[in-house]
Chains A and B, each alone.
Chain A
Amino acid sequence: MTAPIDPPSATVVEERPQAGPGGTPGTSIQGRSLGQIAWMRLKRDKVAMGGAIVVILLILIAIFAPVLVGWFGHPPNEFHQEMIDPATQTPKGGSGIGWDFLFGVEPLNGRDLFSRVVYGARISLLIAFFATLLSVVIGTVMGIVAGYFGGWVDTLISRVMDVFLAFPLLVFSLALIGVLAQFETSLAVKGDTLRILLLIFVIGFFNWPYIGRIIRGQTLSLREREFVDAARSLGARGPYILFREILPNLIAPILIYATLLIPTNVLFEAALSFLGVGIPAPTATWGGMLSDAVKYYTVPHFMFFPGMAIFITVLAFNLFGDGLRDALDPKSSR
């Protein structure tokens, strides 16, 4: 049986494109995808755009840290004993802030604080991004599989999530990193690289159940939607339905959750570094600098700059994440 594809004889033309206000007839129709609509909404949200600009700046700072430091500072691990008052071990003049040292210098050894904050952004963002990526990938795959297939698969994955959520994450991370670091000599990667990978793994791997639960719930409701039945009624295969029909609908929650998870991970990395299981000295990290600064409460700028860096990063990501949620989900109330 073949379909005769000739112009319909008896069908009624039900409507013609209307001329838009000020437009010429027949040219006013312009398709706008949901992504374009969300982008328009996001552009109108000044606070979120502010957050986005700061986020982009931070990323640029992290990428171009060596260039920035070359222009405005000194190498991050270079000692400047000439800036230190030998009697008190604190910077001369209180902080050492000036044109030469924009954020002043560290007590004791006189390292350039500006360079160290800039280099600290690399570690913080690197770990936060990749840990988030790891959480999102594991969480999405587990959530979508649990939600779509249901039954014993769902039960199994959901219980695993419960187990993970019941872990005392901070204590466990402290112990795990401490133990794994003992085997440094027998591992292929060493030093900072090993520590960074370890932190990414620990932070990312234990955070996936949060996003997993969200994705599972969304998949459960999407699975019953009529367009899934429609796709099946046309003979679509399982993977097609999972990746082409259901996954696109999950992009909004995934994006939102990822942008809100990044600042959490920045804080978590800072906390681990603060507690001394992060990247070991002399590599600059924000949490590690804060930890050092505790001993020098008489030189508040030492604590102020890394603290502000963490604060601005977390705030910017959160503002951007909130704006993104408003833009992608018109039903969310503000």
Chain B
Amino acid sequence: MTFLELKDLRIHFPSDDGLVRSVDGLSFRLERGKTLGIVGESGSGKSVTSLGILGLHKGGRAKISGEIWLDGEELVSASAEHVRTLRGKKMAMIFQDPLSAMHPFYTVGAQIVEAYRIHHDVSKKVARKHAIEMLDRVGIPQPDRRVDSYPHEFSGGMRQRAMIAMALSCDPELLIADEPTTALDVTVQAQILDLMRDLQRDFNAALIIITHDLGVVAELSDDILVMYAGKAIEYGTSEDIFERPEHPYTWGLLGSMPRLDRERTERLMPIKGSPPSLINVPPGCAFNPRCVYGDRTGGRSTTEVPELLESEGGHLVRCHLSRDERRTVWENEIKPNLEAS
């Protein structure tokens, strides 16, 4: 049985300006011990998806449809109270900015103790011992002293370690990390990514990493899902996405990624334009106003919404270009540029 499966998940927010289609028909599967990277620009629906899986949109104004299966349980139709009992114990989240995600008034230890005691009926003393163990586990030096520090007394990297300790305190089987390294500087980023990989292996958890940084997903992910305007536009193994990407948007993301092995004089190739409004998604393929290859589809890209179709061995692409066309463009026009000089 698949551990986590999303089937046609839609999360829409009614607003005064119209319906915001933040997530519009998203499906994927994830097994225990595997890592899925969700990549996309700001506003592509990545974070809304993660909060949706945790059920944090329940009770709000969001309109949610589709199915979320977690370990044999359907979460969209489940009661808010039931989903709450699963949060923390079954699934947990690591936030982007640990300074704002930790409560400024309580010590780091007190927050881990509280998180642990939500799901475990133990004394504060036992919970505190557990908190110190967790802090030690995520590599915080002198955990028995640091447990009594306040979040503002930690450096950025240590705060993120503490945040991870808090998320892992109840042994969640699904861990969602929303831009876990964006607020950190590069040297610390690498340490945190290493830490997450080790912990995931030890805990055998399913991990979803949400990021706009392809470097981060390249480091950790087994599978990668590229999102655009609330939809999946390409899905495949890490190798598929980096070696044989087939969607023009993915090409754009790869082209705009700075790389050390490239000549410094060479310019990055950004994707022109900006992401579409989620209220007025362009007709046809949502990416068509920014797509250089749109005119090769004979007008279909502006009128017809492309399906997410299998290209080869589980590699899914949502594009009107034929598979052969896409491969030709990648081999002849894109790849040589990325590997130039």
- A interface with B by C-beta (< 8 Å): 1-5, 7-17, 26, 29, 31-34, 225-227, 229-237, 240, 244-245, 248-249
Q: Are A230 and B171 in contact (CB under 8 A)?
A: no
Q: Are A233 and B202 in contact (CB under 8 A)?
A: no
Residues of A within 8 A of B96 (CB): 226
Residues of B within 8 A of A244 (CB): 114
Q: Are B56 and A233 in contact (CB under 8 A)?
A: yes
What would 9 more interface pairs be, CB under 8 Å, given A235-B88, A237-B118?
Answer: A1-B204, A8-B138, A14-B188, A29-B145, A226-B100, A232-B87, A234-B118, A234-B169, A235-B86
The DSSP consensus for interface residues of chain A is loop
B220 is an interface residue with CB less than 8 A from chain A: no
Select A1's contact among B103, B150, B173, beta carbons within 8 Å.
B173
In angstroms, Cα B163 to Cα A11, docked, is 16
In angstroms, Cα B251 to Cα A174, docked, is 77
Query: Which residue of A has the minimal Cβ distance to B97?
Result: A226
Can you offer 27 A-B residue contacts whose CB atoms are under 8 A? A1-B171, A3-B171, A5-B134, A5-B136, A8-B195, A12-B194, A14-B155, A14-B161, A29-B146, A31-B149, A33-B105, A34-B104, A226-B95, A229-B51, A230-B102, A231-B103, A233-B56, A233-B92, A234-B87, A234-B88, A234-B92, A235-B87, A235-B89, A235-B119, A237-B118, A245-B103, A248-B103
The smallest beta-carbon distance between B252 and chain A, in angstroms, is 30
In angstroms, Cα B22 to Cα A200, docked, is 52
Query: A31-B150, A230-B93, A232-B87 in contact; A5/B137 too (CB < 8 A)?
Result: yes
The smallest beta-carbon distance between B216 and chain A, in angstroms, is 17
B286 is an interface residue with CB less than 8 A from chain A: no
Q: Are B202 and A3 in contact (CB under 8 A)?
A: yes
Query: Which residue of A has the minimal Cβ distance to B198?
Result: A10
The smallest beta-carbon distance between B106 and chain A, in angstroms, is 8
Query: A11-B191, A31-B149, A34-B104 in contact; A16/B141 too (CB < 8 A)?
Result: yes
Q: Are A3 and B137 in contact (CB under 8 A)?
A: yes
In angstroms, Cα B161 to Cα A17, docked, is 16
Residues of A within 8 A of B138 (CB): 8, 11
- B interface with A by C-beta (< 8 Å): 51, 54, 56, 84-89, 92-93, 95-97, 100-107, 114-115, 118-119, 133-134, 136-139, 141-142, 145-146, 148-150, 153, 155, 157-158, 161, 163, 166-171, 173, 188, 191, 194-195, 198, 202-205
Query: Which residue of B has the minimal Cβ distance to A12?
Result: B191
Query: Which residue of B has the minimal Cβ distance to A6?
Result: B137
The smallest beta-carbon distance between B163 and chain A, in angstroms, is 8
Count chain B CB atoms within 10 A of each CB in A11, A232, A233 and give the residue with the most: A233
In angstroms, Cα B161 to Cα A236, docked, is 21
Q: Are A233 and B191 in contact (CB under 8 A)?
A: no
Select B155's contact among A15, A226, A245, beta carbons within 8 Å.
A15
Query: A2-B171, A229-B95, A229-B101 in contact; A234/B141 too (CB < 8 A)?
Result: no
Residues of A within 8 A of B87 (CB): 232-235
Query: Which residue of A has the minimal Cβ distance to B119?
Result: A235
In angstroms, Cα B146 to Cα A322, docked, is 35
Number of A-B pairs, beta carbon distance below 8 Å: 132
In angstroms, Cα B139 to Cα A12, docked, is 7
Select A33's contact among B146, B150, B202, beta carbons within 8 Å.
B150
Q: Are A234 and B170 in contact (CB under 8 A)?
A: yes
In angstroms, Cα B54 to Cα A232, docked, is 9
Residues of B within 8 A of A231 (CB): 103
Select B141's contact among A15, A230, A249, beta carbons within 8 Å.
A15
The smallest beta-carbon distance between A240 and chain B, in angstroms, is 8
Q: Are A34 and B105 in contact (CB under 8 A)?
A: yes
In angstroms, Cα B87 to Cα A233, docked, is 6
Q: Are B191 and A14 in contact (CB under 8 A)?
A: yes
In angstroms, Cα B56 to Cα A251, docked, is 27
Residues of B within 8 A of A249 (CB): 104-105
Residues of B within 8 A of A8 (CB): 136-139, 195, 198
Q: Are A11 and B168 in contact (CB under 8 A)?
A: no
Count chain B CB atoms within 10 A of each CB in A11, A15, A16, A249 and give the residue with the most: A11
Q: Are A10 and B115 in contact (CB under 8 A)?
A: no
Residues of B within 8 A of A240 (CB): 118
In angstroms, Cα B145 to Cα A232, docked, is 27
Residues of B within 8 A of A245 (CB): 103
Residues of A within 8 A of B136 (CB): 5, 7-8
Residues of B within 8 A of A227 (CB): 100-104
Residues of B within 8 A of A225 (CB): 100
The smallest beta-carbon distance between B122 and chain A, in angstroms, is 15
Query: A1-B173, A7-B136 in contact; A14/B158 too (CB < 8 A)?
Result: yes
In angstroms, Cα B158 to Cα A244, docked, is 24
In angstroms, Cα B142 to Cα A14, docked, is 12
Query: A227-B103, A233-B93 in contact; A14/B137 too (CB < 8 A)?
Result: no
Query: Which residue of A has the minimal Cβ distance to B107?
Result: A31
Select B115's contact among A17, A31, A234, A248, beta carbons within 8 Å.
A234
In angstroms, Cα B17 to Cα A93, docked, is 80
Query: Which residue of A has the minimal Cβ distance to B118?
Result: A235
In angstroms, Cα B205 to Cα A137, docked, is 45
Q: Are B86 and A11 in contact (CB under 8 A)?
A: no
